[in-house]
Structures are given as C-alpha cells and as structure tokens.
Structure 1
Amino acid sequence: MGIPDYLTCLLRNLYAGQEATVRTGHGTTDWFQIGKGVCQGCILSPCLFNLYAEYIMRNAGLEETQAGIKIAGRNINHLRYADDTTLMAESEEELKSLLMK
C-alpha cells in the first residue's frame, strides 16, 4: 500500500509490549499483555482502522469485478464511511459474489 518502512516500525514500537489491568467491583485484575487491537481512545485508531480496511478491500479485488451499480458511467460496488461498509450490486447473485471475495 506504499506505507514507508519507518512508519510501520514506529507503529509496531508504539503498540509493542503493551499491558493492561481491568478494574472491577472487586478490585483490579493482574496486569496482562495486550496481544491484538489498538488502544481505545487513541487518536491513531481510526486511521489505522481505515488503512486496514483499505488493504482488505484492495486485496478483495472489488475494483476489478463487474458487479455493482452504474453511476455517472462508473461501476460502484462498495461505499465506506467510518467503520461501516455497504456492498452494492444489481442482483442477488452479484451481491453474493462480492461477499465471497
């Protein structure tokens, strides 16, 4: 996707070795390693989500498929906003083929 190596390294270092504890009605848990995900409330979280979502959509090859609806001469088969994705097709069969990608 053209993300520079130094930026990938910076993000890995930002999230490497993170730990958390959970506060309950009975006190706090022991500390544990966070193995996946992004930090809740982190200003980078929406950007990282969008980068990953873009990667998924590009690798699905949706741009190359003929499924979708024509708008102003262009074939549109998906729309995204924040963490919502809508797939569009002319028929149920086309929609199923998009979902299978």
Structure 2
Amino acid sequence: MLSPCLFNLYAQYIMRNTGLDEAQAGIKVAGRNINNLRYADDTTFLAESEEELKSLLIKVKEDSEKVGLKLNIQKTKIMASSPITSWQIDGETVETVSDFIFSGSEITADGDCSHEIKRHLLLGRKVMTNLDSILKSRDITLSTKVHLVKAMVYPVVMYGFESWTIKKAECQRLDAFELWCW
C-alpha cells in the first residue's frame, strides 16, 4: 500500500512545484481557479485555451522528469469544446477525444449527459436482472425487497447524478426506469 501513497506525494509535489496550486491557469468555479483534478493515478488538466493547456502539460512533464516520473503520451488525451490542432509532445501525437471517463462518469466535449444517463440506466437494469430471482422469491418480505432495490440499484443508476444536466427526455427515462423497477 506504500506505492499509491508515494505516488500521491510525488503528484502533489509536482503540482506545487509547477505552481499549479496557485496558478491563474484553469477554469473558474465558484471564484476559484481549477486547473487539475486528480483521482488515484489519473490527472485531468483544465484550461481556458489550447495554449494554456499545452503550457500546463509541458510544465508537469518537465517537473515530473526531474523526480524520475515520465508522462505516458499514449495514455495522454486531449478533449476540447471547440476544434483544436493536432498536438505532439516529444515527437508523439497526442490523441484528441470527444469524451472520457473520470471517476466513473463520462465527460463529453459538448456537455451532453444523455449517454451517461443511458449508461447508468443499463447498469441499473443489469443489477435488477441479477436480483431477479431474489425479488421474485416468496420467502423475502416486500419491505426487504424495497430495501434491496434502494440499496443496490438506485446507487448504481444515480452515481454522479449531481453533475448531470437533465433534459425532459432523460427525466422521463429515469421515471420510466423507476416504474419498471416496481
């Protein structure tokens, strides 16, 4: 268990060293600049412009190399809300993507959450299917079945919902799923 802790210490050291802790780069959220999100060994950089993002990546790459860590270009992806030019770092092209998964949630360039909601509804259906024999059992009380659905299905469907932008169609899908559960 020491390895993840050491990695996190190095990652924090690199972010502080590059000045990303107090940098003006990034996007404004509630009056604060946010330029990186970290979870385990994944880091997502946020920037207002292509130049700003490139500058952030180069700073982190250089400071990482100073402590013996190497930026994996094959795992590095770029997503932008507007078209961008092709990037190269150390002669390798950095892939441009239209979406990515961060901490279990799909982030899209256009901010559309409909695919993410559909994905969660499918996962919820899988859980319901796995619980089918239990939910049809006459040996388990209705109250226990309700608790099972609320404890095992709803969290899967609603994971990350705080960040969803829900349109009328998605709201109807969520309502229909809830009715289907019962």
- Which TM-score band (shorter chain)? 0.5 to 0.7
Q: Does 1:77 align with 2:27?
A: no
- Distance in 2 separating the partners of 1:66 and 1:80: 18
**Matched residues in 2 for 1:48 and 1:68: separation?**
26
CA distance in 1, matches of 2:51, 2:38: 21
Q: Distance in 1 between matches of 2:45 and 2:13?
A: 16
Quote the Cα distance in structure 1 between the aligned partners of 2:56 and 2:22: 11
> Which residue, 12, 16, 28 being the options, matches 1:58?
16
Q: Aligned AA for 1:62?
A: L
Larger strand share, 1 or 2: 1
* Structure 2: distance between partners of 1:67 and 1:45: 30
Q: Which has the higher contact order (CA 8 A, sep 6+)?
A: 1
Amino acid at match of 1:96: K
- The number of residues matched between the two structures is 59
The aligned counterpart of 2:26 is: 68
- Structure 1 range deviating more: 86-95 or 63-72: 63-72
The ranges of structure 1 where at least 4 consecutive aligned residues each deviate by more than 2 angstroms after the TM superposition are: none
Residue 24 of structure 1 is matched in structure 2 by none
Matched, 1:48 2:19: no
Q: Which is richer in helix?
A: 2
Shift of 1:65: 2.2
The whole-number CA distance in structure 2 between the counterparts of 1:86 and 1:47 is: 19
How far 1:70 sits from its partner (Å)?
0.4
Cα distance in 1, alignment partners of residues 20 and 36 from structure 2: 8
User: Which 5+ residue runs of structure 1 have no aligned equivalent?
Assistant: 1-42
1:20-55 CA distances to partner (integer Å, 9 max, x unpaired)?
xxxxxxxxxxxxxxxxxxxxxxx1111111111111
3-state SS of 1:62 partner: coil
Letter aligned with residue 63 of structure 1: D
> Structure 2 stretches of 5 or more lacking a match?
60-182
TM-score (norm 1): 0.55
- Alignment deviations for residues 75-95 of structure 1 (CA, whole Å, 9 cap, x no partner): 000010000001100110111
What's the CA shift for 1:63? 2.2
User: What is the RMSD computed on CA atoms of the aligned residues?
Assistant: 1.0
